[in-house]
Amino acid sequence: MNYRHAFHAGNFADLVKHAALTLLLEAMTADPAPLSVIDTHAGAGLYDLGDDMAKKSGEAAVGIARLIAAPDAPRAFDALKAAVAEANPEGGLRLYPGSPALIGRALRKADRYIACEIRDDDVALLRQTLAPYPGAQAVQADGFATAVERMPAIGRVLVLIDPPFERADDYANIAATMAAVRARNPAAAVAAWLPLKDLETFDAFLRSLEPAGAGALVAEARLKPLTDPMKMNGCAMVIAGAPASLEAPLQAACDWVVARLGSQGGKARLWRLA
């Protein structure tokens, strides 16, 4: 449990994940029926990019800072940019909204949100982040188990799975959770974030999704060729139950991240699992 998302907040991987998340929220709240959201690995919710952790990594400077300054960012990033502007009413880029802040601001009166976080320090910050949203609840518990236990059997549900990949069983836990929640509610949208290191690991993970993941949307942002398995060479979102309306804007988001934040040999790819 050493992982702190504060080192990575606003990096290229957050941009891909948060574009996908906000596009899903936009699509799912276009329907007036209430929405339930479960965030298995929520983190602190809001990150101070001026603190030592963020400054040490410098990842936001080559992520969200470049996006905010870009004249050519696609509309897929509009909601994220609006959330950044709301978090920084004085202007500038001091605070970066994580998934809890992005979900919180999208909630309507009848919507419900369960945010799971295991660390004492981050769950305390998460409670502060969620305080303005009456439909939101922070839970200090394992997110994989909580998603299955608290999964509504009916109604519209979005599950975000975003583990730190510190443990070798995170891949297996994602696949098992996706299968279990889709078995309980086949209409649920389940979005998982993954690092792209080498193709073998990613392909094995995708195979492990069968059959629950059939038809899932896979959005890959490879910043460079996947030749060094020790490095995070890119990232992917795998989204079961993704609406077709997500495809074009998410492709545009991945294209932008690869073109503007990647290096030679990078590649963006969007496709569906058979």
Ligand X SMILES: C[S@@+](CC[C@H](N)C(=O)[O-])C[C@H]1O[C@@H](n2cnc3c(N)ncnc32)[C@H](O)[C@@H]1O
Binding residues for ligand X, rule: CB under 6 A, are 3, 5, 17, 41-43, 98-99, 116-119, 122, 142-143, 162-164
Q: How far is the CB of 214 from ligand X (least distance, A)?
A: 25
Specify the residue for token string 């299968």: 179
Indicate the Cα dihedral angle 51, 224, 202, 206, nearest 10°.
100
**Residue closest to ligand X, measured at CB:** 98
Q: Which is nearer to ligand X, 164 or 272 (CB)?
A: 164
Q: Which is nearer to ligand X, 125 or 209 (CB)?
A: 125
Q: How far is the CB of 96 from ligand X (least distance, A)?
A: 9
For residue 176, which amino acid is it?
A
Q: How far is the CB of 188 from ligand X (least distance, A)?
A: 18
Closest CA to 55 of 97, 114, 96: 96
Q: Which is nearer to ligand X, 5 or 182 (CB)?
A: 5
Q: How far is the CB of 100 from ligand X (least distance, A)?
A: 7
CA distance 232 to 251: 20
Q: How far is the CB of 70 from ligand X (least distance, A)?
A: 21
Q: How far is the CB of 60 from ligand X (least distance, A)?
A: 12
Q: Which is nearer to ligand X, 195 or 267 (CB)?
A: 195
Q: Which is nearer to ligand X, 143 or 262 (CB)?
A: 143
Q: Which is nearer to ligand X, 3 or 266 (CB)?
A: 3
